[in-house]
Structure 1
């Protein structure tokens, strides 16, 4: 606590001023946290002073609060580019990051408990710097940090602003910002060293060396490149539910879900419902490196408002699957940096409302960089309509990925190949004649047609057996599930990837 208070004083975080009854004075409290090393040993006992931002009033002591953070596909592309060009990825750490952001609003806070000024105990703190807990703190920190980089010569990516790019002659440097977690890579070590020196003097920033842990992901360095996994996080989820010693199972969801009976249709108790929602929220973040559980998690999320016994049984099965695949994750290897994608749909797959499920995944070379499972908003009247809506959803993501790849100086002049296993949807996408049966999907029709005409995408046929997006749309048998999981390269870090495990040849 003394070290934290000294840091606050060093940063000139506040000035003591007399109190006034007309002011909105925020409270504050000390928050304690134990930080651990990757091996589980204690790294630091951290004390942090946090302002009670819940008492702030909009228009009085805060206005704008939004702070951009890097999107997950951007992180995967960032790592893919670095590995493919054999650039070193450095991880940076900022001490008391939020304290570097200057406040534009007038904010008052009470003095920290245990550290009140003995001469003026009734005075309050007029904040000059953003403090942890304030609603605008993340935004002020991002603005301060990014503005400094702009002065250095960086510019924001138009596709994803937390990605900052430095280009000068043949020098390329990329910085990725996720609140106070920062990644740095580039092709010129001299410029990187100069940048690190400048950042260290300005923000008390430390170079942690090669990336090893980022946003809860464990980054292993393998002979092929990198491997992203969340084994420790998955273990914590199992421990939270008391299933650390459960028996593993080979697939996360049965091929045919059990129909609701009088017993299974009973709603869970309040305590079990809270546990259910807590676990599902945790599993949602686990899908960052586990695409193989995305469909099951999406299915469970649809019942968070009123979970029942059957939903809890499905959750237990998913946890049993995790038990046997704790170390699984996605690899990042050197590749040819060619973008291609798969789109699929399960027509009327939900027996309750007969809505279809859209599944989509995109590869940059052999690396899986983006995927999505989404329930369609309206009922599709045919499999062609369901597949076509999936094509439209995939196309929007492809357009954004192409913009982002251009920021990484990756050529995107050729149309992106989008693979679909429905011949009727492909014919509809390439046929300018608008038939009566497709009038109700006119917007999606014109959107996809325009993208094909502008040579942003080209829709090609792929056999259902080789449709990798099939994993994201429906429950599968164990052999089929494991086949597609291997095709997506979801494996342990010590498992080498064979040539036959690459996506289908285009």
Structure 2
């Protein structure tokens, strides 16, 4: 910090949880800061990393940077008032000019990330071409992988000596705390064993049931009955929206390890009525029945890539829009999934299935680019679809006269098929894993598809 004459744009300075923190909130974009956001790892990137290291037999470790935002250098001119009790006796009316970031500055996350990635690149790491929070270091035949999520850093590799050297380098540059083997990250509980890696949120599930007084409720074997039809229910009894939103938000926090409830949680999040609260309680009762469920990434699996896509045409009873679901597998375990209602009404089943396959293709292409950073290459990636008409449209460009109603932007599915990036393959409806993300299913079908999705 350097002294400057007092100016009008002053900032306060206080203490927050032992960290120096700016107060005042008077920064203006283009004057005090240009960019505020730092890239953070996507959930899919974390799952890909867990699946990869499980197969390779690596052990993941975790470390935390103490007061991470205080390490970043800022480029803009920012001034703060002298903290109370620390005024300079000769210059009590002047201010400090910041050279490094403080907690509370809008550009602090960006400044910290730039400081970190420059340090890692100087140490010989290669940044991921797509995932900018992934860094890899190759040393002969050994590989070290580092994944960044703000001030949380997970790393692992084929050489224990390489991991120890990395921690020593980070400790010399930053104030670090080594947290040992990766066990808890972003709310996920992670158990690493010789058989593979298990990711779950069992503690959070138990706390969730106690929070909403469902710990002693009667368990249910499925999250939603096939006879349940949620609509607007305009004549239904209104519910406390604050409590209802809290229930939905808590369940959404659970979906990173529970794709089996993704569809029903999204469905219940649309309109809050008494019937919807009853449906939400059914989900909680299902969680009571399956408190230890999670995702398995097996050590004896493969790194083959596979996608599933499905759509429930006009499945929404409110606006008749289609719900499509996609999931992508690395080996035998799911690493990415999506359940989404289309923004417009599909005029045919073919269109709904084609749009779902296009969404799956988009995610596959992102995963291919990410896996390329790990040194993995693939040929045609199969996307399993149970619609013969959608497969025909993707493979036959001559059918354009009968597909004019399909938005042009979805035809990149056909383009990537012709380029040899993906292949559209017919799958029997009873083996369509993405079905679990589009509609409520009977117990037998639900349990069978859930087992495939969890890697069992």
Same fold by TM-score greater than 0.5: yes
How is 1:112-123 mapped onto 2 (pairs within 5 angstroms)? 116-117=86-87, 119=89
Structure 1 segments (4+ residues) deviating >6 Å: none
State the TM-score, normalizing by the size of structure 1.
0.84
Question: Match of 1:441, SS?
Answer: coil
Does 1:405 find its partner at 2:361? no
Match of 2:80 in 1: 109
Counterpart residue number, 2:444:
479
Q: Deviations over 1:316-346 (max 9, x none)?
A: 2222222222221101112210001111000
Q: Matches of 1:327 and 1:264 in 2, distance apart?
A: 38
Which of 271, 287, 294 is the matching residue for 1:322? 287
Determine the structure 1 residue equivalent to 2:402.
437
Measured at CA, do residues 259 and 366 of structure 1 come closer, stay the same or move farther in structure 2, by a change above 3 Å? closer
State the 1:407 CA deviation.
0.8
Task: Sort the Cα spacing of 1:105 and 1:338 in 2 relative to 1 into closer, same or farther, 3 A.
Answer: same
Q: 1:336 aligns with which of 288, 299, 302?
A: 302
Preserved CA contact (<8 Å) 2:232 2:318? no
The answer to whether residue 358 in structure 2 is matched with residue 392 in structure 1 is yes
Q: Is the 8 A contact 2:230 2:317 kept in 1?
A: no
Aligned residue in 2 for 1:460: 425
Offset, 1:49: 4.1
Q: Deviations over 1:23-71 (max 9, x none)?
A: 2x23355445xxxxxxxxxxxxxx4443237432212222101210111
Name 1:41's counterpart in structure 2. Answer: none
Where do 1:361-372 residues align within 5 Å?
Answer: 361-372=327-338
8 Å CA contact 1:92–1:205 kept in 2: the answer is yes
Contact 1:392/1:444 (8 A) holds in 2: no
1:308 maps to which of 266, 270, 273:
273
Distance 1:440 1:66 in 2: 39
Within 1, Cα distance between the matches of 2:96 and 2:273?
50
Aligned-residue CA RMSD (Å): 2.3
State the shift of 1:262 in Å. Answer: 7.1
Q: CA deviation at 1:18?
A: 5.5
Q: Aligned with 1:51: secondary structure?
A: strand
DSSP-derived class of the 1:91 partner: strand
Aligned to 2:266: 298
2:25 and 2:70 mapped to 1: Cα distance?
Answer: 19
Task: Please state how far the C-alpha of 1:168 moved relative to its aligned partner.
Answer: 4.3
Give the whole-Å Cα distance in 2 for the aligned partners of 1:186 and 1:341: 28
Q: Deviation per CA, 1:155-203, whole angstroms, max 9, x where unpaired? A: 2111111101223443322110011111112223333332221111101
> Is the 8 Å Cα contact of residues 53 and 135 (structure 1) preserved in structure 2?
no
Match of 2:62 among 78, 91, 98: 91
Between Structure 1 and Structure 2, how many residues are aligned?
Answer: 454
- Show the counterpart of 1:43: none
Is contact 2:358-2:411 (8 Å) kept? no
Q: 1:136 to 1:235 in 2, by over 3 A?
A: farther
Alignment pair present for 1:237 and 2:237: no
Structure 2: gaps spanning 5 or more residues? none
Residue in 1 that maps onto 2:174 = 203
174-183 or 326-335, which deviates more: 326-335
Q: Secondary structure at the match of 2:382?
A: strand
| Mapped partners of 1:71, 1:445: distance in 2 | 24
**Given the two structures, how large is their TM-score scaled by the length of structure 2?**
0.93
Post-superposition shift, 1:406? 0.9
Q: Which position in structure 2 is the counterpart of 1:281?
A: 249
Taking the TM superposition and a 5 Å limit, the aligned residue runs for 1:106-145 are 106-111=77-82, 116-117=86-87, 119=89, 124-145=95-116
Judge which range, 130-139 or 93-102, deviates more: 130-139
The separation in 1 between residues aligned to 2:326 and 2:190, in whole angstroms, is 25
SS of residue paired to 1:384 = helix
Q: Distance in 2 between matches of 1:150 and 1:259?
A: 52
Aligned-partner SS, 2:399: coil
Distance 1:387 1:235 in 2: 37
Is the CA contact (8 Å cut-off) linking 2:224 and 2:279 kept in structure 1?
yes
Larger deviation: 137-146 or 446-455? 446-455
The CA deviation at 1:123 is 5.6
> CA 1:53/1:400 → structure 2, altered by over 3 Å: closer, same or farther?
farther
1: CA distance between counterparts of 2:145 and 2:2? 37
Q: Is the deviation greater in 440-449 or in 142-151?
A: 440-449
SS in 2 for 1:89: strand
Shift of 1:313: 2.1
Instruction: Tell me the residue number matched to 1:155.
Output: 126
Deviation at 1:117, TM superposition (A): 4.2
Tell me the distance in 2 between the aligned counterparts of 1:60 and 1:445: 41
Maintained 8 Å contact 2:59/2:192: no
Deviates more, 1:353-362 or 1:377-386: 377-386
Please tell me whether the aligned partners of residues 384 and 424 of structure 2 are also in contact (alpha carbons under 8 angstroms). yes
Three-state SS of the structure 1 residue aligned to 2:404 is: helix
For residues 464-499 of structure 1, give each alpha carbon's deviation from its aligned partner in whole angstroms, at most 9, with x where no partner exists: 111100000001122222221112127xxxxxx4xx
